[in-house]
Every structure is written in C-alpha cells, then in structure tokens.
Amino acid sequence: VVSTQSTGHCCMCIKCVLKMDHHCPWVGNCVGFTNYKYFVLFLTYTCVYTLFIVLCCIPYITSVWKQRSDDPLNFHVLILFLIALVFFLTVLGLYSFHIYLLLHNKTTLESSRAPCFRGGFEDSKHYDLGGFENFKQVFGDMPHLWALPVFTSKGNGFEFDTRAYTSTQTDVPGDRYSSVP
C-alpha cells in the first residue's frame, strides 16, 4: 500500500484516509480529501440556518417583551431562540477555525504539528499557496459550483501543489541539512 505525505490512519474507521483532517463523530465518518468541501459546506449551511432562526425570533421576542404577554408560546419561542443562538455560536467557532485552516491549506492534524518531510525538515507552510489558491484547492475552479455539494476539489489526493522555493539557503528548508557550507 502506497502512503502519501498527508495520508492518515483513522483508528475509528480502521482505514487510511487521503489528506485526513479528522474523524467527525457527528457525521460518523472521517473528513479528508474526498469530503472536506462537503464538511465546510455543512458548517456554512448550519451557521446560516441557525442565524436565520435567531434573526427570525428576535422580532417576536421583542414584541412579546413590550406587551408582557403570558402566552405559553412565548416560552417556546424563547427556548428556540436560546438553543439556536448557542448552536450558532458553537458552530461559528468551529466554522471559523476550519476557514482559517482552509485558507492556510492545513488539516486539523497539521494545525497541532507541522508535517515532516524527507530530509527531516518540518514546514508548516509547505502546502500554503496563498488564501485564494488554497480555497480553490478545496472548492475547485468553477465559482458557480462552490456553494453546491458536488465534488470539485483539485487533484487526485495523492499529490498536492506546494510553494515554490527559490534557490536561496533561507528559503529552502532542506538546505539546512546539506553538507554544503
């Protein structure tokens, strides 16, 4: 079995996952190369939907507050508002973290430790091509498909574009291990 640089083994699924990000217990699957776009879209849709619920509840709650009504429905709308607000804030934190990772072309696993390459060098920005190019690595080159849950990611999951290094000794991480002075 050939293992690529960013392949991870999931002990929950008992399988190797290309560009493994994490095992998601809520989805019941590993998030990696083939489904990272879907995961980010799921977080996007969840944020938008819970924010929509919160915004729809606000006018109702303010009118109830002004009229001081004792209708039992008011309590249910208040509970709906609070649950949606908590979900929105929680998912927004997770969504913000994954947008940061997406724009820096990192996985959740790489965010805690830099990938190690041949020659022993670690480089946390090796796959970082710039924010927009990193976004296109996951969402593809067709903007009309970015918001749709269809696979448009670039590449095959085995080889990934990397930053272009210049020939200066400070830019090439592997040079610090060479014997040339």
Residues with catalytic function? 24
Cα–Cα distance measured from residue 146 to residue 166, given in angstroms and rounded to the nearest whole number: 33
- C-alpha distances (whole Å) from 49 to each of 43, 76, 85, 144, 161 are 10, 18, 11, 21, 34
Q: Which two tokens stand for residue 65?
A: 């507050």
Query: On the CB side of 17, how many CA atoms lie within 13 Å of its CA?
Result: 23
Q: Which two tokens stand for residue 143?
A: 């903007």
